[in-house]
C-alpha cells in the first residue's frame, strides 16, 4: 500500500522521499536546483529569482507531480503548475499517500491527480 518513493536529482543524489514531511521554511529551488539559473538557457531562474532558494510554509512535502524537480513535464522547461516550480508543496497534517494515484500525483502522464491535486498525498480526515 505505502509506496514511498525516493526522488533523486539527475546525478543520482538523493533529493527527498515522497510523502516525507519537511519542517524548514527555506528550500533549495527545485526548478534550478539551487543554481539560480534556468537549466538550459542560464537565464535568471524565474522561480527563485536567482537566489537558489524558495520559501514555503511548513509542513511541506516534495511535489509528487514533478518529483521535486519543479519541471511540469519531463523533457520541457515548463514550470510545474502544482508547486509553481518550487519543488515543494504545503500540506496539512496528518497526511497519507493519495489512494487514487498512489503517491504519483498524476492521473495520466500529462494530468495531475484530481484527488490530491498533484501533491501525491491527501489529508487524513479524522
Ligand atoms: Zn531557482
Ligand atoms: Zn511540482
Ligand atoms: Zn493523487
Whole-number Å distance between alpha carbons of 42 and 114: 34
119 CA distance to ligand 2 middle (Å): 8
Q: Where are the domains of the chain?
A: 1-93
pLDDT digits (tens, 9 = 90+) for 72-121: 987 888 999 999 999 999 999 999 999 999 999 999 878 999 999 999 99
Nearest ligand, CA 121: 3
122 CA distance to ligand 2 middle (Å): 15
What confidence score (pLDDT) does residue 1 get? 43
Any idea what the Cα angle at residue 68 is, between residues 78 and 44, rounded to 5°?
50
User: For the chain, first and last CA: distance in Å?
Assistant: 20
pTM: 0.88
Query: What percentage of the chain reaches a pLDDT higher than 90?
Result: 71
Nearest ligand, CA 38: 1
55 CA distance to ligand 3 middle (Å): 24
Whole-number Å distance between alpha carbons of 117 and 43: 29
Amino acid at each position: 500500500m505505502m509506496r514511498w518513493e525516493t526522488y533523486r536529482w539527475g546525478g543520482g543524489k538523493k533529493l527527498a522521499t515522497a510523502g516525507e514531511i519537511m519542517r524548514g521554511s527555506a528550500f533549495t529551488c527545485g526548478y534550478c536546483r539551487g543554481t539560480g539559473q534556468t537549466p538550459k538557457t542560464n537565464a535568471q531562474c524565474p522561480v527563485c529569482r536567482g537566489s537558489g532558494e524558495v520559501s514555503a510554509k511548513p509542513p511541506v512535502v516534495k511535489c509528487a507531480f514533478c518529483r521535486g524537480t519543479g519541471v511540469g513535464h519531463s523533457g520541457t522547461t515548463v514550470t510545474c503548475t502544482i508547486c509553481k516550480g518550487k519543488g515543494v508543496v504545503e500540506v496539512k497534517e496528518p497526511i497519507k499517500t493519495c489512494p487514487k494515484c498512489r503517491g504519483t500525483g498524476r492521473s495520466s502522464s500529462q494530468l495531475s491527480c484530481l484527488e490530491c491535486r498533484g501533491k501525491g498525498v491527501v489529508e487524513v480526515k479524522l
